[in-house]
Chains A and B, each alone.
Chain A
Amino acid sequence: MRITTRFLILLIIFVSITIWEKIQATDIAVTGSWVLSIGATDLVAGAGSDLEPNYTSASDAVQIDISNTAGNWQVDVRRTDSNWHSNFILKVKRTSDGTGSGTISGGTTEVTVTQTDQEFFTGSSDRGDVHVELTLENVSVQIPPDSYMTTVYYTVVDI
């Protein structure tokens, strides 16, 4: 009985630590998306010419909020493809510092989004309304008509 009680106490402590860490974990909230349509009007010079190779979203196409912070953090970015053409090159760039008591740095030059996490930007304390711009490169008539989609994940990690 005594051993069982002690074991239960330790288990409760362990579970409490885990829940506390969950509560303490820095949160990230991403809003926005980018829908791009490419057609004949995007030919560089009409019939006989290729498509414009590069397309850029609005500078605030995506907004990121970092909250519930407990110090320094880092935001990583990666993508998971649903139906994506291998010729496409997707890049992200931070176009605003956002607002909040903390600091923010990095990410103001384009980062190519691959299928593995890469550092995007870092900061400390809470930051809200950080704007992100996306760029799609390497578009050409070699890419057949279709609806292509990828999901871009932003992960905040305490550092």
Chain B
Amino acid sequence: MKKLIVGMGVLGVVLGLIGLAIAANSDFHTVTVDVEAINEAAITGGDLTLTINTATAGQEPDDAVDNTTCDLDWTTNEDTKKITVETDQAAPTYTLKVVAQNVTGGTAAAEVTLSTTGANSFVTAISKTTGGCDLQYTASATAAQGTGSDVHTVTYTLTAGP
């Protein structure tokens, strides 16, 4: 019986010491991070004027080309995006084409002849990235089209797509 009492006493002391050693208390707070969808595209370089004013005798006028004035930059934190391009000029007299050059953060599509018939793919395969490219515009005219000017407002859109 004595052994039982001593044993229980020792057990009580040991458990008490263990309890003291692990005596702890906790409290908490939460950290919430809301990451919004980011799909940003912006043109740098401003407005561009292409002038067709040279030709070789006996041939159509030379194209006017510019690939240094305007750049397009984009950022997205989503997958499977593309950039499309379209113009608001419904009845252009002359032909205006655009193609992405020196692309980072995506893949350049083929050169696009600008029209209002629908947005054309301009850069594809954009996923959770930053990127950019040079905008190369090419204006073309035939001698038969005479003189004049077309004004285009060209819109680039970062949208869902492969």
**Which chain A residues have a beta carbon within 8 Å of chain B's beta carbons?**
3, 6-7, 10, 13-14, 17-18, 21, 24-40, 43, 46-51, 62, 64, 79, 88, 90, 134, 136, 141-158
Q: In the complex, which residue of chain A has the Cβ closest to the Cβ of B104?
A: A48
**Chain B interface helix/strand/loop/mixed:** strand
In the complex, what residues of B have CB within 8 A of residue A144's CB? 35, 77-79, 128
In the A-B complex, list the 5 residue pairs whose CB atoms are closest, starting with the nearest: A48-B73, A47-B42, A30-B27, A39-B36, A47-B40
Most buried by B among A18, A21, A43, A151: A21
**Bound-complex Cα distance A143 to B152 (A):** 37
Could you tell me if A152 and B19 are in contact, using CB atoms closer than 8 angstroms? no
Interface size on B, residues (CB 8 A): 42
In the complex, what residues of B have CB within 8 A of residue A150's CB? 30-31
**Which chain B residues have a beta carbon within 8 Å of chain A's beta carbons?**
1, 4-5, 8-9, 11-12, 15-16, 19-20, 23-38, 40-42, 73-79, 128-132
Could you tell me if A26 and B25 are in contact, using CB atoms closer than 8 angstroms? yes
Question: Closest approach, in angstroms, between the C-beta of A137 and any C-beta of chain B?
Answer: 12
**Bound-complex Cα distance A156 to B8 (A):** 30
16 additional contacts (CB under 8 A) given A14-B11, A40-B36:
A10-B8, A25-B23, A33-B30, A33-B32, A35-B34, A43-B75, A48-B74, A48-B75, A49-B75, A50-B130, A141-B130, A145-B36, A145-B38, A147-B32, A156-B24, A158-B20
In the complex, what residues of B have CB within 8 A of residue A3's CB? 1, 4
Select A141's contact among B4, B5, B76, beta carbons within 8 Å. B76
**Chain A interface helix/strand/loop/mixed:** strand
Could you tell me if A38 and B36 are in contact, using CB atoms closer than 8 angstroms? yes
Select B25's contact among A6, A47, A149, A155, beta carbons within 8 Å. A155
Between-chain CB contacts (< 8 Å), 15 pairs: A13-B12, A27-B25, A28-B27, A39-B38, A46-B40, A47-B74, A48-B42, A48-B73, A50-B75, A64-B27, A141-B128, A148-B32, A148-B33, A152-B28, A157-B23
Could you tell me if A36 and B33 are in contact, using CB atoms closer than 8 angstroms? yes
Q: In the complex, which residue of chain B has the Cβ closest to the Cβ of A134?
A: B31
Select B32's contact among A21, A29, A36, beta carbons within 8 Å. A36
Could you tell me if A147 and B29 are in contact, using CB atoms closer than 8 angstroms? no
In the complex, what residues of B have CB within 8 A of residue A157's CB? 23-24
Could you tell me if B38 and A141 are in contact, using CB atoms closer than 8 angstroms? yes
Could you tell me if B32 and A35 are in contact, using CB atoms closer than 8 angstroms? yes
Could you tell me if B28 and A154 are in contact, using CB atoms closer than 8 angstroms? yes
**Bound-complex Cα distance A19 to B35 (A):** 46
**Bound-complex Cα distance A88 to B129 (A):** 17
Given the known interface contacts A14-B15, A43-B75, A144-B77, the answer about A48 and B32 at a Cβ–Cβ threshold of 8 Å is no
**Bound-complex Cα distance A32 to B27 (A):** 11
Could you tell me if B23 and A24 are in contact, using CB atoms closer than 8 angstroms? yes
**Bound-complex Cα distance A39 to B37 (A):** 7
